Chain A
Amino acid sequence: AQSVTQLGSHVSVSEGALVLLRCNYSSSVPPYLFWYVQHPNKGLQLLLKYTSAATLVKGINGFEAEFKKSETSFHLTKPSAHMSDAAEYFCVVIYRGSQGNLIFGKGTKLSVKP
Chain B
Amino acid sequence: GAVVSQHPSRVICKSGTSVKIECRSLDFQATTMFWYRQFPKQSLMLMATSNEGSKATYEQGVEKDKFLINHASLTLSTLTVTSAHPEDSSFYICSARPTHGETQYFGPGTRLLVL
Q: Interface of A with B (CB < 8 Å)?
A: 32, 34, 36, 41-46, 49, 51, 90, 94, 99-102, 104-107
Is there contact, CB below 8 Å, between B91 and A49?
no
Contacting residues, chain A, for B106 (C-beta < 8 A): 36, 43-46
Q: Interface of B with A (CB < 8 Å)?
A: 2, 4, 6, 32, 34, 42-44, 46, 49, 91, 93, 95, 97, 102-109, 111
Determine the distance from Cα of A56 to Cα of B19 in the docked complex, in whole angstroms: 44
- Give 18 pairs: A residue, B residue, CB < 8 Å, sorted on A: A32-B102, A34-B103, A41-B111, A43-B4, A43-B108, A44-B95, A44-B106, A45-B106, A46-B2, A51-B102, A90-B44, A100-B32, A101-B34, A101-B46, A101-B49, A102-B104, A104-B43, A104-B44
Q: Which of A49, A99, A101 contacts B103 (CB 8 A)?
A: A49
Contacting residues, chain B, for A106 (C-beta < 8 A): 42-43
Is there contact, CB below 8 Å, between B97 and A105?
no
Determine the distance from Cα of A45 to Cα of B106 in the docked complex, in whole angstroms: 7
Contacting residues, chain A, for B6 (C-beta < 8 A): 43
Is there contact, CB below 8 Å, between A94 and B102?
yes
Is there contact, CB below 8 Å, between A41 and B104?
no
Determine the distance from Cα of A36 to Cα of B4 in the docked complex, in whole angstroms: 15
Determine the distance from Cα of A42 to Cα of B106 in the docked complex, in whole angstroms: 10
Q: Which of B4, B46, B97, B109 contacts A41 (CB 8 A)?
A: B109
Determine the distance from Cα of A105 to Cα of B43 in the docked complex, in whole angstroms: 7
Determine the distance from Cα of A57 to Cα of B21 in the docked complex, in whole angstroms: 35
